[in-house]
Amino acid sequence: MPKHFFLSFLPWLALLFLWELAGQSGALSAFVLPWPSLVLTAAWSHAATGALFFDIAWSLVRVFGGFFLAVLLATPLGLLIGLSERASSIFEPAVHFLRPIPPVAWIPLAIVWFGLGNGPAFFLTFIAAFFPVIVSTAHGVRSIPAQHFQVARCLEASRSLVFRRIVIPGALPHILAGFRIGFGISWMAVVTAEMIAARSGLGHLIHVSQDVLHTDLVVAGMLCIGLLGLLFDILLRGLARRLTPWGPA
């Protein structure tokens, strides 16, 4: 646990307290910005019916589905691009052309291709994670000092040994950083996709709640997204520390 773990909660607690105080004193409108106790009540009642957990579960399924598919395809492709100049010439221009297009811009095409429902959301989370993972992985391979490969060459190490003992661990910190960034963007993309093209999930909850003027549920949905995003980032950071014990993750 970090040294100042509990201290890091202090500003948040202060903010929540002031926010609640402003709401209770009448300085805030419950519609414009519902205060914490209203948000908690709305979240509790939504959770009691099981609907909140249903939405969270669907969002997670979509994020993990798209993210894992992206990791499965982008990691080997990134390794290939990092290792081979020929592969880099073939794939990298396309990667750098497609990478700046925000995932949200794919929504119209995703709806045309996959219809409404899960398809566009999976596609968007996939696209969102794919490019950060591929770019970080390729960069990770290229950041391995040339001297490491020279040592391996002098030792007459086989390609397979170089791949297992130098390329993978050498690129791992960057690969894991790519996973963290990709997961964060996937999480943002799923909410957007669910707001437009799905009938479940936290994005859908926010969208529907806005339609019926339940801003307390809108904020509850936003808080769930923030908390889950933070939780997974902490988990990924922990995983990175465990997998790269030789240096800072």
Partner 1 sequence: MSALVEARDLHFSHRGREKPHPIFQGLSFTVEEGKILSVVGPSGCGKSTLLSLLLGLLRPSQGELLFEGAPLGEPSRKRMIVFQNHALFPWLTCLGNVVFALESSAAPPADLRAEGLRLLERVGLEKSAGLYPGELSGGMQQRAGIARALAAKPRLLLLDEPFSSLDQIRRHQLLGELAELVRASKTTVVFVTHDVKEALRFGDQALVLGGAPFMLTQPDETQEKEIYAHWNLS
Least Å from the CB of residue 35 to partner 1: 49
Least Å from the CB of residue 171 to partner 1: 10
Least Å from the CB of residue 4 to partner 1: 24
Please tell me whether residue 112 binds partner 1 under the rule CB under 8 A: no
CB 95 within 8 A of CB 134: yes
Please tell me whether residue 148 binds partner 1 under the rule CB under 8 A: yes
Q: Which of the ranges 57-65, 113-121, 148-156, 208-216 carries the binding residues for partner 1, by CB under 8 A?
A: 148-156
Task: Supply the angle between the helices 118-142 and 168-197 in degrees, to the nearest 10.
Answer: 160
Please tell me whether residue 155 binds partner 1 under the rule CB under 8 A: yes
Please tell me whether residue 143 binds partner 1 under the rule CB under 8 A: no
Least Å from the CB of residue 136 to partner 1: 17
Which of the residues 163 through 182 are near partner 1 (CB under 8 A)? 165-166, 169-170, 172
Size of residue set near partner 1 by CB under 8 A: 22
- Of the candidates 166, 138, 137, the residue with the CA atom closest to the CA atom of residue 150: 166
Please tell me whether residue 246 binds partner 1 under the rule CB under 8 A: yes
Which of the residues 215 through 244 are near partner 1 (CB under 8 A)? 244
Q: Which of the ranges 9-17, 102-110, 154-162, 198-206 carries the binding residues for partner 1, by CB under 8 A?
A: 154-162
Report the residue from 153, 159, 199, 241 that binds partner 1 according to the rule CB under 8 A. Answer: 153
Which 3-state string (H, E, C) describes the chain? CCCCCCHHHHHHHHHHHHHHHHHHCCCCCCCCCCCHHHHHHHHHHHHHCCHHHHHHHHHHHHHHHHHHHHHHHHHHHHHHHHHCHHHHHHHHHHHHHHCCCCHHHHHHHHHHHHCCCHHHHHHHHHHHHHHHHHHHHHHHHHCCCHHHHHHHHHCCCCHHHHHHHHHHHHHHHHHHHHHHHHHHHHHHHHHHHHHHHCCCCHHHHHHHHHHCCCHHHHHHHHHHHHHHHHHHHHHHHHHHHHHCCCCCC
Q: Which of the ranges 59-67, 75-83, 152-160, 177-185 carries the binding residues for partner 1, by CB under 8 A?
A: 152-160
Q: Which of the ranges 122-130, 145-153, 182-190, 196-204 carries the binding residues for partner 1, by CB under 8 A?
A: 145-153
* Alpha carbon 161 to chain centroid, angstroms: 32
In this complex, which beta carbon is closest to partner 1, that of residue 26 or of residue 247? 247
In this complex, which beta carbon is closest to partner 1, that of residue 148 or of residue 237? 148
List interacting residues with partner 1 (CB under 8 A).
Answer: 145, 147-148, 150-158, 161, 165-166, 169-170, 172, 244-247
